[in-house]
Amino acid sequence: MEWNANFNFRTTSTNTNETPPPGVSFLGLELTIPKKKNKGYMGWETLYKLKPYLAMVFLQFGYAGMYIVTQISLKRGMNHFILAVYRHVAATVVIAPFAILLERKIRPKLTLPIFLRIMALGFLEPVLDQNLYYVGMKSTSTTFAAATTNILPAVTFVLALIFRLEKVNVKKIQSLAKVFGTAVTVGGAMVMTLYKGPALDFIKSRGMLNHQGSAADESSGQHFVTGTLMLLASCCGWAGFFILQSFTLRKYPAELSLTALVCLMGAVEGTAVSLVLERDMSIWAIGWDERLLAAVYSGVVCSGIAYCTQAMVIKERGPVFVTSFSPLCMIITAALGTILLGENIRLGSIIGAVFIVTGLYIVVWGKSKEHGPVSDISSSSSDEKDAAAVGLPVSQAKPNGHT
């Protein structure tokens, strides 16, 4: 079996008349799949098809861990503005060296329109979404906050329809599946929100990391309605981030560089907002405790790695596919919240989770039917695949991948 490793985002071929086989790429390293259909080919073909699914599933585990560590740090006094700033400082420090080294030859020119888009991206998710989410989660619970993010696929789907990133053809079952699956997912989220039901003591624990009095905080003394509204508003900001990121990738198709720039602008804009709204300079102090862990973990995993991974999957499958995996994070967070924080799981959460997973499966099935098998993809040119990935007509795709 013969295979080539090319340190490029595109597969290269010595024969100009030969259509290059599909490749599996990550962070600039691409491994081409051999054309001969032997066991090695079938293994690479399976990996190629499962790549976006595996990436998004593992990302949900990363987000679930972030919800736990940030909830602990917020409950113990860390300011949410400062947490958002430190988070993106850590992400910039980690991602920037990889962007400089791996994308130095393919990085497009940073024009003023692209820079303005990056500024908007730095505000939508790092500043607006995260601060609203932190306040909402502190006022409710990690499980409830994770549950509200299940409206994200629906909001993103509606915005994608408005901006023509998604199309619905009522004559095709895959389009109807996306609409129906989104409705089922939102219905499950509504069940979790409106119907609590009796508590189910699957795991009788006060929480390994739960400090005294946190259980009472969950049920009393909190601005639950205000927190819920902030969580919903944060989801709208997050959905807008995905849509704008999809458009920006057309003009700036360098995922690592875009991630580093967005994190940098998020840190700068977040610092400005923090200095205006928080005059007490002592809140910037941070030690070797859970506050540092929350900033570094959420920055590296949920900003740096997550932004880059989402950008790659968005280019291949679109923003709706990325957001359709968010319900899994709610289930993982509920389990971790019960074990580590002593949060109760109620019957309404279980019923809602069943609907959510069902809707998720339907949406993913519809999206998968829109993409043919790898053998079909390999019959297209590399430029046609890149154009189709971001929703551009094939005639608009130039040889260098820019629009």
Residues 366-387 pLDDT 10s: 877 765 543 343 333 333 334 3
pLDDT of residue 209: 56
Q: For residue 40, what pLDDT is reported?
A: 57
- Which of the four pLDDT bands, split at 50, 70 and 90, describes residue 269? very high
Please give the Cα distance from 32 to 20 (Å, whole number): 8
**Segment 73-87 mean pLDDT:** 90
Q: What does the buried/exposed string (b/e) look like for 82-103 if buried means 16 or more CB atoms within 10 Å of the residue's CB?
A: bbbbbbbbbbbbbbbebbeebb
What is the model's pLDDT at position 392? 34
pLDDT at 124 over 90: yes
Angle of helix 173-194 relative to helix 347-369, nearest 10 degrees, comes to 160
Q: Rounded to whole angstroms, what are the CA distances from 72 to 65, 190, 285, 328? A: 11, 26, 17, 21
pTM above 0.75, yes or no: no
Q: Percent of the chain having pLDDT more than 70?
A: 74
Q: How far apart are CA 138 and CA 221, in angstroms?
A: 12
Write the DSSP symbol of residue 340: I
Of 81 and 403, the one with more pLDDT: 81
d(CA 144, CA 74): 16
Q: Considering only 132-136, 213-217, 300-304, 314-318, which range has the smallest mean pLDDT?
A: 213-217
Tell which wins on pLDDT, 30 or 195: 195
Query: What tokens were used for 59?
Result: 């990302």
Residues 401, 301, 234, 273, CA torsion sign: negative
Extended beta strands in 72-227, E state? 199-200
pLDDT of residue 111: 93
Closest CA to 192 of 80, 357, 383, 44: 357
Instruction: Write down the pLDDT at residue 315.
Output: 80
DSSP state of 32: E
Span of 25-39, 217-231, 326-340, 383-397 with lowest mean pLDDT: 383-397
Q: What is the pLDDT of residue 81?
A: 92
Q: Is the pLDDT of residue 98 over 80?
A: yes
Burial class of residue 176 in the structure, from the number of CB atoms within 10 Å of its CB (0-12 exposed, 13-18 middle, 19+ buried) = middle
Q: Would you place residue 137 in the very low, low, confident or very high pLDDT band (cuts 50, 70, 90)?
A: confident
Q: How far, in Å, CA of 89 to CA of 87, rounded? A: 6
Nearest to residue 49, comparing CAs of 387, 369, 381, 386? Answer: 369
Return the structure tokens found at 219.
């049920």
Question: What is the model's pLDDT at position 42?
Answer: 66
The per-residue pLDDT of the chain, averaged, comes to 75
* Mean of pLDDT values over 118-147: 88
Count the residues in the chain: 403
Are 68 and 337 in contact, with CB atoms under 8 Å apart? Answer: yes
The Cα–Cα gap between 387 and 394 comes to 6
Element (H, E) at 22: none
In this prediction, residue 7 has a pLDDT band, given cuts at 50, 70 and 90, of very low
pLDDT bin (cut points 50, 70, 90) of residue 170 is confident
Task: Give the separation between CA 285 and CA 290, rounded to whole angstroms.
Answer: 13
Whether the CA torsion 365, 149, 202, 209 is positive or negative: it is: positive
Give the best-scoring range by mean pLDDT among 2-6, 14-18, 152-156. 152-156
pLDDT over 50 (residue 357): yes
More confident of the two residues 23 and 353 = 353
pLDDT digits (tens, 9 = 90+) for 25-49: 444 444 454 555 555 556 677 777 7
In this structure, are residues 232 and 151 in contact, taking their beta carbons and an 8 Å threshold? yes
Angle of helix 347-369 versus helix 326-336 axis, rounded to 10: 150
Question: Which of 3-17, 273-287, 332-346 has the highest mean predicted lDDT (pLDDT)?
Answer: 273-287
- Residue identified by tokens 């189910």 is 200
User: How far apart are alpha carbons 21 and 14 in whole angstroms?
Assistant: 12
**376/269: higher pLDDT:** 269
| 323 band by pLDDT with thresholds 50, 70 and 90 | confident
Integer Cα distance of 229 and 330 in angstroms: 18
- Name the 3-class secondary structure at 344: coil
Question: Which neighbouring-strand residues pair with 34?
Answer: none
State the average pLDDT over residues 82-102: 92
Average pLDDT of span 175-194? 80
Whether the per-residue pLDDT at 235 is higher than 60: the answer is: yes
Segment among 57-61, 206-210, 326-330 with least mean pLDDT: 206-210
- The type of residue at 130 is Q
Q: Which amino acid is at 73?
A: S
Task: Please say if the pLDDT value at position 23 is more than 70.
Answer: no
Structure tokens that stand for 207 in this block: 């929480």
